[in-house]
Amino acid sequence: MNKQNTGLFKNTPSEINLFKTNLFKTKPCALCYAVACCLAAGSVGAYAENYIETGKLGNPASWHSGEFLAEWGLGAIHADEAYAKGYTGKGIKLGIFDQAVYAKHPEFMGKDKVINLYTFGIREYTDPYIAVKKGDPFSYDGTPSQQLGGKLGNHGTHVAGIAAGSRDGGKMHGVAYNAQIISAENGDPGPEDGIILGNDGGVYQAGWDALIASGARIINNSWGIGIDKKLEDAGKDPKGSHFHLEHAQKQFDQIKPILGTKPGGAYQGSIDAGRSGIVTIFAAGNSGNYNEPDAIAGLAWFVPDIAPNWLTVASVQKDANSSNKIPYSISVFSSRCGYTASLCVSAPGSYI
């Protein structure tokens, strides 16, 4: 999926992040399974030395601090109800497979709040967007890497803040604010252009292996294969040609022969994570409302044994003009669940 050019926790459109997942039922409800296991039961606590927690067990409204209210998605998914039951993310490791998370950001308070995994190996792909080629050595240690356009990548930091930024009296906090963040760099500068081998098998397999070994309970992914540009351009046009299951099947037909090989590491690693019991999350895509997820976002449809541990996530936005009882609608940029409907949920993904 193409990464949005977002700043560090600014109120700009962001990639979908599962840790804000909710089924958007018409009555208040607990967070869905993925968020619940992300939050985990734990005692109420604070990281900042001078911060006093005002939230009380059994009282959802008591959690409505300035930090909470600054982020509309927290209310949308009823995170306050989870906090009031003692779920804060304590003891849970959240994997972020993305650009490196900047561990020194002030929203990540506390010892070992962010662990940057060290990965290394040999590249399997010559990337046309950055100066690397097949056969080059690579290593990642949490140092910000260069993205398309020459800027240092901050997308992983943004995602990690939404998922688990500290609740400490600052400007915002994440959903599972007491969780530990485990960051692995995927070396992806974007854009996603539909090339199966474009997700470097060497880099991705190293990242998957490290995340699985780290003990991460959940691994969040905002990357993908992408789709044909003509289909993507028609993603907002109901009369255009669109990406559907038959197109995803053709992508998977290319993936299947490279599973278990070095070039196929991005895809084999995804399967390995799912088979390891890790909740594996992929954004549905940024290809518009009339397109469906690519074959990596919908991989569990093609590999059904990983479906119990897989979620595809579409993005929703606030919509004051919505006819729904709850005022949300699919984000204008988001792909819809489509063929992944049985393993897909929606989550706040715009202006978070």
DSSP conformation letters of 319-340: -TT--SSS-EEE-TTPPP-GGG
Q: How many CA atoms lie within 13 A of 173 on its CB side?
A: 28
Domain assignment present for residue 144? The answer is yes
Closest CA to 288 of 236, 339, 245, 243: 236
Q: Give the Cβ contact number of residue 7 at 10 Å.
A: 11
Q: What is the pLDDT of residue 129?
A: 83
Q: What is the pLDDT of residue 45?
A: 44
Amino acid at 35: V
Mean pLDDT of the chain: 86
Q: Which whole number is the average pLDDT over 231-239? A: 86
Domain assignment present for residue 1? The answer is no
Report the sign of the C-alpha dihedral through residues 139, 204, 21, 334, in that order.
Answer: positive
Q: Which domain holds residue 196?
A: 18-348
Q: What is the pLDDT of residue 207?
A: 98
Task: Give percent of the chain with pLDDT exceeding 90.
Answer: 70
Q: What is the pLDDT of residue 274?
A: 98
Determine the 3-state secondary structure of 79 from DSSP. Answer: helix
Q: What is the pLDDT of residue 199?
A: 96
In total, how many domains does the chain have?
1
Q: Over the stretch 254-278, which tens digit does the pLDDT of each residue have?
A: 999 999 999 999 999 999 999 999 9
Q: What is the pLDDT of residue 25?
A: 31
Domain assignment present for residue 297? The answer is yes
Lowest mean pLDDT among 12-21, 58-67, 154-163, 224-233: 12-21
Q: How far apart are CA 265 and CA 203, in angstroms?
A: 8
Backbone angles phi, psi at 76, to 5 degrees: -60, -35
Q: Give the Cβ contact number of residue 37 at 10 Å.
A: 16
Q: Which whole number is the average pLDDT over 190-214? A: 93
Domain assignment present for residue 101? The answer is yes
Q: Which whole number is the average pLDDT over 306-328? A: 90
Indicate whether this model's pTM tops 0.95: no
Q: Over the stretch 183-195, which tens digit does the pLDDT of each residue have?
A: 999 987 767 889 9
* Cis amide bond preceding 191, omega within 30: yes
Domain assignment present for residue 285? The answer is yes
Domain assignment present for residue 3? The answer is no
- Do 175 and 35 meet the contact criterion of CB atoms below 8 Å apart? yes
What ranges make up the beta strands (E) of 86-230?
A: 93-98, 114-116, 119-122, 137-140, 180-185, 218-221
Domain assignment present for residue 186? The answer is yes
> Which positions ≥6 away from 274 have C-beta within 8 Å?
280, 300, 303, 305, 306, 309, 310
Cα 275 to Cα 206, 268, 316, 349, distances in angstroms: 17, 10, 29, 27
Q: How far apart are CA 255 and CA 235, in angstroms?
A: 24
What's 48's domain CATH number? Answer: 3.40.50.200
Q: How far apart are CA 88 and CA 56, in angstroms?
A: 12
Q: Which whole number is the average pLDDT over 68-89? A: 97
Task: Give percent of the chain with pLDDT exceeding 70.
Answer: 84
Domain assignment present for residue 9? The answer is no
Q: How far apart are CA 327 and CA 320, in angstroms?
A: 6
